[in-house]
Structure 1
Amino acid sequence: MTGFQINGHVGVVTGGCSGIGRAIAETLIGEGAQVVVFDLSPDDAPTGTALALNVDVSDEQAVARAFATIEDRFGDLDFAVNNAGIDIETEPSEEWLAGPLDRTIDVDLKGVYHCMRHAIALMRPRKSGAIVNIGSVAALVGTATRPVYAASKHAVTGLTRTAAIQFGEDNIRTNIVCPGGTRTDLLEKVMTDNPVLRDHIVASCPMRRLAEPSEIADAVLWLVSPRSSFVNGAVISVDGGYTAG
């Protein structure tokens, strides 16, 4: 067996216009997939995107309309990568603040739930599909000063495992990729403003570096492809060993 065998496959990447999501979309497009991007800035979609839709994943009706558009345009759905998320607990605090709670849960948890639900509905009739949720090391360990983000990512791990059990009979595989510190434009800006944070992130990784977005994308590529045909319910850390200790 050669290559990843996704040429012509139709799939969704949420949050696919920037950061890790963009790297995922570009990698899948490079392998010949027809990638539909959901993003709040669809005009910034990668070159070769099959369709770019303005979708706020926290809005269930908007998600439903977007998946209906996919069904009308393409008929089938082979994979879905739920990457869209926010992390707005940026200021260290000894208190648990109310501000980030609703919006973080709406996007990082409910958004994944909405997209999974509609993706599965398209996949079940043909008894085939691959879903990859993008978590975080915060899906596996506690994260100081970011309780809501960590809670939402832990919850996505639970959704992933539950879907793997419930829909495995339908040959729908559901897995989660949990990146560590990754060199996105957003993180680079934060670390430029806070060199101490950069040193901390690098020092906490046994490999003493950040991941490149393409390294996360390569893990996703494998999981949406037939090369991982018996991988279901897996929690895959791409973190340079951060969660190994």
Structure 2
Amino acid sequence: MIKAPASLDGKTILITGGGSGIGRETGLIAASRGARVILADIDAGKASAVAAGIGSESAAFGLGVDVTNSADVARMMAEVEAKSGSIDGLVCAAGLTGDATLLAECTDETWNSVVGVNLTGMFFTIRAAIPLLLKAGGGSIVNLSSVAGLVAVPNQVQYIASKFGVIGLTKSAAIDYAPQGIRANAVCPGGTRTPMLAGWVEADPDRERFLAAGHPIGRIAEPAEIAEAILWLISDASSFVTGAVLPVDGGLTIP
């Protein structure tokens, strides 16, 4: 028998990178299952537009935040606390890839921008969110890593280092806060049809066919497929899961 998706009724979920891609899709699905959704994004307009599409502020609201700036993250979290009191779930989906480059040719700017968002920004966000999760009596953190956090690919040193780091950060949060009822897990998507991927594919349509062929399942993912895995980890259905690293990659990392 196929079970209904886990309910998120009554949960308040904060999502960074919530203005587009996987973060946006996670917010839309979470709201459809009863959660109050807070969408934070570097582009406040995009976050607010997604929230407006969900409904009133009691159901969703959008915020601007630069996750690479710890003071701005603290400001954003204070606003979340003022409007919601606490949160039950945190999804860290803000991310960048950066230009393809050999390690020895990776500039300080490329390294700092990608690692700044993907890893340091995630650290700032989790650190600031923990008091609000504790205030709720515990909760669930889900961090977006990547298959590039499990296996290396050429010419993406900044992205690979950041996504491997996300897994270490996730495990650290899991072990530090398990006694206080906070779970932390990482999701590692394979190729996914997001705006970030779209530009790369549009430059050469053969790229999607090449990318799809690398997945044993024979295609790339839709954002909703990644969001479903994220929301299972946010929900109480995964109550005994913490410190896990879940590939959602169509079998890409099987070999």
Q: TM-score range by the shorter chain?
A: over 0.9
Gaps in structure 1 of 5+ consecutive residues = none
Gaps in structure 2 of 5+ consecutive residues = none
Instruction: Write the distance in 2 (CA, Å) between the matches of 1:122 and 1:94.
Output: 39
1:164 aligns with 2:174: yes
What code does the residue aligned with 1:192 have?
E
Q: Helix, strand or coil: the match of 2:253?
A: helix
Q: Deviations over 1:155-210 (max 9, x none)?
A: 01000011111100011000000000001233233212123422321111111101
1:110 aligns with 2:112: no
Q: 1:200 to 1:144 in 2, by over 3 A?
A: same
Q: Give 2:207's aligned residue.
A: 197
- The answer on whether the counterparts of 1:135 and 1:179 sit within 8 Å (CA) in structure 2 is yes
Instruction: Write the distance in 1 (CA, Å) between the matches of 2:196 and 2:243.
Output: 30
Q: Deviations over 1:58-99 (max 9, x none)?
A: 111111011111111111110000000111124x54743213
- The answer on whether the counterparts of 1:89 and 1:149 sit within 8 Å (CA) in structure 2 is no
Q: 1:96 aligns with which of 105, 111, 124?
A: 105
What code does the residue aligned with 1:19 have?
G
Range moving further from structure 2, 214-223 or 121-130: 121-130
- Counting matched residue pairs gives 244
Q: 2:159 aligns with which of 131, 149, 158?
A: 149
What code does the residue aligned with 2:162 have?
S
Q: Give 1:43's aligned residue.
A: 45
Q: 1:94 to 1:225 in 2, by over 3 A?
A: closer
Instruction: Write the distance in 1 (CA, Å) between the matches of 2:112 and 2:198.
Output: 27
- The answer on whether the counterparts of 1:222 and 1:228 sit within 8 Å (CA) in structure 2 is yes
Q: 2:246 aligns with which of 225, 236, 241?
A: 236
Q: 1:209 aligns with which of 196, 207, 219?
A: 219
Q: 2:145 aligns with which of 135, 140, 150?
A: 135
Q: 1:68 to 1:109 in 2, by over 3 A?
A: same
Q: TM-score by structure 1 length?
A: 0.94
1:30 aligns with 2:40: no
- The answer on whether the counterparts of 1:96 and 1:147 sit within 8 Å (CA) in structure 2 is no
Q: Give 1:179's aligned residue.
A: 189
Q: TM-score by structure 2 length?
A: 0.91
Q: 1:71 aligns with which of 81, 90, 97?
A: 81
Q: 1:41 to 1:200 in 2, by over 3 A?
A: same
Deviation of 1:108 after TM superposition, in Å, equals 0.7
Deviation of 1:221 after TM superposition, in Å, equals 1.0
